Amino acid sequence: MKIVVIGTGYVGLVSGACFADFGHQVTCVDKDPKKIEMLERNEMPIWEPGLDSLVESNVKKGRLHFTTELAPALPDADAVFIAVGTPSRRGDGHADLTYVYAAVKELAETLDHPVVVVTKSTVPVGTGDEIEKILKDNGAPEGCTVASNPEFLREGAAIADFKHPDRILIGANDDSARDVLREIYRPLFLNKAPMLFTSRRTAELTKYAANAFLATKISFINEMADLCEAVGADVQDVARGIGLDNRIGPKFLHAGPGYGGSCFPKDTLALLKIAEDAGVDNQIVNAVVKVNDDRKNGMAGRVEKALGGSVDGKTVAVLGLTFKPNTDDMRDAPSIPLVNMLKEKGADVRVFDPVGMDMARPHMPEGLHWAADENDAIKGADALVIVTEWDEFRALDLDAALEAMNGNVLVDLRNIYGRAEAERAGFSYTPIGR
């Protein structure tokens, strides 16, 4: 099959590279010439383990191409995937579909034969209907169809998720679109990956529902962590105790500083806007968003408490800035309010992240010490705060760290150390929910 992917962000680039690895001919299109120049040099605009080698391999095999021009990519195309950004719109939280609709309009004006137009971007219910209208109003050839094919990729494990999915969700209202997408995903279907066909609107809503449910699990276990601290229980044991129930499952039950990233924050807000427009009160999702906002905003207070009630004049080392390990994504990362509040409260903040330093700079206040590595960050600190559970931080030499510090406070927002281990090294240890 010949596939065009519009957008070389996280979803578009991973999808395009994986489709090419299935044996399809794929052209990825992006308006940003710098991105395309980087990709042609095999430099990735995002940090995702294994992506550079996957792209390089398929470019060498002649199956993966990059361009800034849509028209040359379209002849003989069977499907065009829309994978541009849908950020939260300022003011109301609705998904901003400006880039989606602009891409569809250009596509309609350029196509000379019918194709299946597939939304890979996360879009509100009814977006496919509007795309159909835009195609028709802008002269797209008769026979073009529109489908929804949401992605369910975890940053840091996206290639494995794409090639070994829990399910492949395809929302289409006609057989021709279903047939094309069934053929595109045939290599996965042969590996017995479940392929679920629904209506287009159902697929659009399912993506939001999935992310909102996972966000709910995170906010729930974070509230349980607060309760554990109040009553003297251990949230990790609580999580194991409920996660072993196969009706609940163990995933997304890790207490921490709140969720961030490219999906959960914007998708929960967008779902609330969809519900509001439909006249439905989503009380649970409203509560999830509030709990998470309060959670992230409360992390600086934990550091203050660990330091005796004030961080003014104290040196605080923050390890981990990205919202999760194995990515450079800083979108809605819990480190952002934490570092900003510590700085506002008078702390001298030293920060380090293995891959996210450049992406973090625009989100951070002036006057930080941008450390060369974790040891440089720790040196002279009164408190050490672990925000992101990178592997590098799971195996710190705690004895050496304490010796390099001025103080002995360890605030472990990811529970990667045990209390006995930390206290044996001489730390005053503050975990989450334990």
Q: Is the dihedral of CA 219, 222, 223, 224 positive or negative?
A: positive
User: How big is the CA angle at 396 (ends 395 and 398), to the nearest 5 degrees?
Assistant: 125
**Structure tokens that stand for 14 in this block:** 């991973």
User: How big is the CA angle at 357 (ends 418 and 263), to the nearest 5 degrees?
Assistant: 75
To the query of whether residue 144 is one of the catalytic residues in this protein, the response is no
Question: What pairing do the DSSP bridges indicate for beta strands 145-148 and 168-172?
Answer: antiparallel
CA distance 184 to 188: 9
> What residue type is 193 in one-letter code?
A
Element (H, E) at 20: helix 10-21
**Structure tokens that stand for 434 in this block:** 């334990």
Is the distance from CB of 82 to CB of 6 less than 8 angstroms?
yes
Residue 421, judged by CB atoms within 10 A of its CB (0-12, 13-18, 19+), counts as exposed
Rg (CA), the chain: 23
CA distance 151 to 400: 43
18, 28, 144, 263: which is the annotated catalytic residue? 263
CA distance 64 to 307: 53
Q: What are the residues facing 88 on neighbouring strands? A: 95
Q: Cβ neighbours of residue 121 under 8 Å, at least 6 residues apart?
A: 7, 11, 82, 83, 84, 85, 86, 100
Largest CA distance in the chain: 73
CA distance 322 to 336: 9
Catalytic residues: 263
